[in-house]
Amino acid sequence: MNNEEQTSTEKFTGTMPVQEKLKFPEKELEKYLNDAVSDFEGPLEVREFKGGQSNPTYQLVTPKKKYVLRRKPPGKLLPSAHAVDREYKVITALNSNNYPVPETFCLCLDESIIGTIFYVMEMVDGNIYWEPALPECNNKMRSEIFKEKNKTLAQLHNTDYKSIGLEDFGKPGNYFSRQISRWTKQYIASETEEIKEMNSLIAWLPNNIPEGDETSIVHGDYRLDNMVIDKNSSKVIAVLDWELSTLGHPLGDFTYHLMQWYMPGDGNAVGTQTLTNSDLGSLGIPSAEDYVKMYCENTNRSGIENIDFYLSYNFFRLAGILQGIVGRVRDGTAASEHAEDRADRIKPLAEAGWLYAKKAGAI
């Protein structure tokens, strides 16, 4: 394991004492869980997970069992952000359909308990990997994990969302138009410096959306460190962090996941790691072209057209997401102590987005 990976693992793996700004009355929570969760037995110890930048996430430790609590962060928030009730809804529905997500136990909309709404789910025990090149694994394991990631995302996109009660989970159609509008507004609300390329993307993207529309459940942030891998195999046993999930275009979701092959720079920050400088063949990792082919086979597609637009859109969207995190640092509501690390990634993402926009025909 190299020093860079060791540093990343130390930063983001496991738990720590709860930061002062994210503490809440634990006895009130324990009383609530005694009534709300059938097999809950205290005493309760609360720890904070190191990873995660948006919704604060806690490990709830009891003598017999561990749970996970996700809550809205306290303080000033962007409109429509941190919708943990939506996250609870999609996880609960998918769990009922045998999709790999944690079991959910309760959703609390009463802000008087811990100060914000929250939900509690099972803690799935497995491995979480933070670097897309998987330095901890051998070639066979890497190859199998990439196949499992691809298959698991395809399974999500192939799920009949109406049959599991998610017909009202979003608005079918016009996904890219709505997303571009949303992230434009949130970017502007969080803006801390003017970036010329972001302004160009804000002007170009809405007028160049490819024709054709599809609707599926989309995860919104599907990447390696948002999934739990079985300790004894390559199987994805839980997909985490559904805050950005909705009904949308599956190709937007898949090409977001594909960005790790195209990410600019050294990509050390979580969420912007890159495979660009890796010798994929020697690592047993598929090329971007092979990964696209794999996804198309798993979803019965003949291919993906307009991939430059999708990459441009996703670099813009990710820049908007990271700008929101930087804005929360400014406003004092960022959940992670490492949130400030995101600031220097925004401009390179905007530049990459504009590069792919030009490949797609922008002038």
133 domain-assigned: no
With 0-12 / 13-18 / 19 or more C-beta atoms within 10 angstroms meaning exposed / middle / buried, residue 294 is middle
With 0-12 / 13-18 / 19 or more C-beta atoms within 10 angstroms meaning exposed / middle / buried, residue 313 is buried
With 0-12 / 13-18 / 19 or more C-beta atoms within 10 angstroms meaning exposed / middle / buried, residue 58 is buried
Whether residue 327 sits in one domain with residue 207: yes
272 domain-assigned: yes
275 domain-assigned: yes
Q: How confident is the model at residue 52 (pLDDT cuts 50, 70, 90)?
A: low
Whether residue 349 sits in one domain with residue 268: yes
The whole-angstrom separation of Cα 355 and Cα 59 is: 41
Q: Is the pLDDT of residue 78 over 60?
A: no
207 domain-assigned: yes
193 domain-assigned: yes
Q: Provide the number of structural domains found in the chain.
A: 2
The 10 Å Cβ neighbour count of residue 342 is: 26
Q: How confident is the model at residue 223 (pLDDT cuts 50, 70, 90)?
A: very high
Q: In this predicted structure, what is the pLDDT of residue 212?
A: 87
CATH at 42: 3.30.200.20
Whether residue 159 sits in one domain with residue 56: no
Whether residue 145 sits in one domain with residue 71: no
132 domain-assigned: no
42 domain-assigned: yes
User: What range defines the domain where residue 284 resides?
Assistant: 139-359
CATH at 266: 3.90.1200.10
315 domain-assigned: yes
Helices (H), 107-249: 139-158, 175-190, 196-204
Q: In this predicted structure, what is the pLDDT of residue 207?
A: 97
Whether residue 94 sits in one domain with residue 155: no
Whether residue 229 contacts residue 128, with contact meaning beta carbons closer than 8 Å, is answered with yes
Whether residue 157 sits in one domain with residue 77: no
The whole-angstrom separation of Cα 290 and Cα 322 is: 29
Whether residue 254 sits in one domain with residue 287: yes
The whole-angstrom separation of Cα 63 and Cα 83 is: 30
Please identify, among 63, 87, 122, the residue that sits at the C-terminal boundary of a domain: 122
Q: Is the pLDDT of residue 203 over 60?
A: yes
Q: In this predicted structure, what is the pLDDT of residue 273?
A: 83
Six-digit token string for 353: 């987005």
Q: In this predicted model, what pLDDT tens digit does every residue of 303-337 receive, in sequence order?
A: 999 999 999 999 999 999 889 888 766 666 555 55
DSSP-derived secondary structure letter, 43: -
Give CA 199 to chain center in angstroms: 25
Q: In this predicted model, what pLDDT tens digit does every residue of 133-186 receive, in sequence order?
A: 999 999 999 999 999 999 999 999 999 999 999 999 998 889 999 999 999 999
Q: How confident is the model at residue 74 (pLDDT cuts 50, 70, 90)?
A: confident
**β-strand pairing of 45-49 with 15-16:** antiparallel
Whether residue 117 sits in one domain with residue 158: no
Whether residue 115 sits in one domain with residue 175: no
Q: How confident is the model at residue 5 (pLDDT cuts 50, 70, 90)?
A: very low
The whole-angstrom separation of Cα 328 and Cα 81 is: 11
Q: Is the pLDDT of residue 53 over 90?
A: no
Please identify, among 61, 87, 122, the residue that sits at the C-terminal boundary of a domain: 122
